[in-house]
Chain A
């Protein structure tokens, strides 16, 4: 039962292929970690999932719907930086998760009060209630990312996309963010795609780990070929020592 379906996905900038022939099926509620070296198209793949870019060929469908033409309510995103609105207080950032779809981008009267109360509950749950009236710039990096995740979830997306969300955090904060994310996921059962540089993080949080790499390599012209999914690990049973290869690999094996 495939929830997110990626079929024959190609993305080319100019005549430079970035990713080629990506096929993957993801069930609802799966947590997908995406790893790979720099410049191997993980972030491009995430932008394609987000519909911030449209692929040269191929398509991405969520729950069988038509491929999206622009970012929308069904996909939530948390970037490494610039994920919350700096000109809104912490509380208003959460309220924005619900109110931006309204005609004026804000609620009025009773609806506004109800949304504020819901936002305060959310903030209490994620431990940010004491800074509800502050601006995000006064928050630490970890708090800003917690806020960004809560804001994205306030819009109730069908798929949550995380682009190196903890990349700029120190190791201790990163661990507490892992707990935070795992709790939220246990609560919501949401489908998540997370791009990360950190292999340990990828296996710890993910149900599946997709590895992006270039299966073909021209030493005279490294940008000749694009990257694709070369490994697809099942990471459910506890991370690194226990991973098992899930699908056929696309790399030529040494003889």
Chain B
């Protein structure tokens, strides 16, 4: 039988899904064990048990000075910045995507401009953002917007442009104005694409968030990771990295669910 025709049953499929996760855990445990037997005070690969203890401590115990559980404050600060940045990118991107995709005049005016803008490496702008917007929340949110907006605009304008001409002509024969075509035909058709684009932008958004927090912040997941780096606190770093991964995965799952729930007609495109 050919390899392309061999499909796993449910049990085997589950096993195969879990296998790489287990492999990473085992590899880490073995590596950590080897280093710790050689040098019990090694800090590079703390034992899984130590990481678990640290995790519990971080999640439940307050800061010694203020009594605040910093883990949740960090999470809240980071999520706020991320959410704000993504929300601004998505809404501005939607408006400009529709404008560029639907109106030839806007396409001539803006398409090339956005294409050039999207080539600017956002991190290279970070110093400028800090100078212009200060070291507060604004510059971090702006970095996320700068980093994700051009992609969202380009993606949505392309999707809008790809809406079959037949549908736009049909709408015109039903007497629709440009405005009605924009809100009743183009907008609902690109909404599932907007969710897709946001899903794809989440990775870069986290990257820019953590980069901005690493350089200037006093709270936030990225700030904490780069702070404890000085003490080689690998257990804390690992806890935060796992937590960020879980958050990112949950957001992605939530967006996919929303897309299925609210745009069932677009099912096959996802």
Binding site for B on A (CB under 8 A): 50, 52, 70-73, 75-77, 79, 81-88, 96-97, 100-106, 135-137, 151-152, 155, 157
Contact = CB atoms under 8 A, between A and B. Distances in A.
Interface residues of B, number: 24
A82 B176 contact: no
Contact of A85 (B173, B177, B185, B268): B185
Contacts of A105: 176, 179-180, 183-184
B263 interface: yes
B176 A77 contact: no
Contacts of A157: 173
A73 B173 contact: yes
B232 interface: no
A87 B183 contact: no
Nearest to A75: B173
B265 A86 contact: yes
A240 B175 CA distance: 38
Residue with the greatest number of chain B CB neighbours at <10 A, chosen from A71, A73, A75, A103: A71
Interface stretch (B52-60, B147-155, B163-171): B163-171
Contact of A155 (B174, B185, B188, B265): B174
Q: Is the interface of B mostly helix, strand, loop or mixed?
A: helix
Given A87-B188, A106-B184, A101 B175 contact: yes
Contacts of B169: 50, 52, 71, 77
A87 B263 contact: yes
Interface string B177-205: 10110011100110000000000000000
Contact of B174 (A82, A101, A103, A137): A101
Given A79-B166, A100-B184, A105-B184, A73 B264 contact: no
A87 B265 contact: yes
Contacts of A101: 174-176, 180
Q: Is the interface of A mostly helix, strand, loop or mixed?
A: loop
B266 interface: yes
Nearest to A47: B169
B209 to A, nearest CB: 33
A210 B171 CA distance: 28
Contacts of A100: 171, 174-176, 180, 184
A198 B180 CA distance: 36
Nearest to A106: B184
B258 to A, nearest CB: 15
Contacts of A88: 188
B172 interface: yes
B24 to A, nearest CB: 41
A69 B189 CA distance: 27
A71 B174 CA distance: 9
A85 B188 CA distance: 10
Given A79-B166, A87-B263, A96 B184 contact: yes
Interface in B59-110: none
Residue with the greatest number of chain B CB neighbours at <10 A, chosen from A83, A100, A102, A152: A100
A136 to B, nearest CB: 8
B264 A135 contact: yes
A106 to B, nearest CB: 7
A76 B173 CA distance: 6
Contacts of B184: 96, 100, 105-106
Nearest to B168: A71
Contact of B183 (A79, A81, A82, A104): A104
A52 to B, nearest CB: 6
Nearest to B266: A87
21 contacts: A50-B169, A72-B172, A77-B169, A81-B164, A82-B164, A85-B185, A86-B189, A87-B263, A87-B266, A96-B174, A97-B174, A100-B180, A101-B175, A103-B179, A103-B180, A104-B180, A105-B176, A105-B180, A106-B184, A135-B265, A155-B173
